[in-house]
Structure formats: C-alpha cells, structure tokens
Amino acid sequence: MSIFGAPLPVGSPAPDFTLKDHQGQEVRLSSLRGQRVMLVFYPGDDTPTCSLQLSELRDVQGELAAHGILMFGVNPAGEVSHQKFVQKFCLPFPLLVDRGGRIAKLYNCGLWLLVRRTVYVIGADGRIEFAERGKPTPECILEALGAAKPPAA
C-alpha cells in the first residue's frame, strides 16, 4: 500500500484551490469551470523524468488545447525555480507553486514536500475525468478522454 493512497477516483469532484503560477498570477480552479483542466503533479523542476514528461506534454500542447484542455504543472518549488524550468524547456503552460504540498495532499499525491507523479484531467463540470499515477503518454491521456487522433488512412 502506497503512503499516498490511490488517486482520487474518476467521477469525484475535484478539490478547489487557489495557487500562484510561476509569474505570480493567481489561478483558481473553480474559475476555470466550463473548461477541461489537466493537472500534472510532478516531484521536481529540471529533473530527468520530470523534464521528459513536461517536454512531451509541451510537444502536444496544441493538440491538448484543440481538445479544450488547459494544462498546469504543479509542485512545491517556488516561482524562481519554476521560471527557470519554464525558460529552459520552453514550456507554454503555467507551473503552479504548491508551497508545502497542500494541494498535492488534497489530490492524494503529496506528503509534505514529497510529490508522487500523478496526472489528473478535470472535466468542464468540475469532476475528475482521468487520474493516473506515473507518466502516462499524451496519447494515452487523449485516448482515455475519447480525444485521440483518428488512425491514419
């Protein structure tokens, strides 16, 4: 049994939160109602697996946006660390500063400053549509949401 427990179940209401992004702008989940929101909880800025995961998502960000998905990275690092990470990897989406891991804990993927890699997609109605530990591929996420590209002819 993991110390983090299971991810929040699909269909459950997503806990609301307000966090600042890497530019100091406030993001409130409930103000995004009506849009799909992807939260990518990851352990650390500029680490090998986190860099790979967020770069893969960067590379399909246009496709995610075309399916109405707003994406946010979330971890306890501060604004300066997030700013450097965004700049180094040209990330086109905000990174949220979860000081103390409070929001990660609400989403069953954090314990103090430890963060278990977890991806959530929250539907326009505020309910969780997708929840998976680890590093699901962008294709896996889109397929699970019924938004995968049609097969090539």
Q: Judge whether residue 139 has pLDDT over 90.
A: no
From the centroid of its chain, how far is CA 18?
Answer: 14
The reply to whether 90 belongs to the active site is: no
Looking at every residue in the chain, the average pLDDT score rounds to 91
Domains observed in the chain? 18-144 (3.40.30.10)
Of the residues 50, 90, 109, 140, which is catalytic? 50
- pLDDT per residue as tens digits for the range 87-136: 999 999 999 999 999 999 999 998 877 899 999 999 999 999 999 999 99
Mean pLDDT, rounded, for 7-12: 96
Mean pLDDT of 8-23: 97
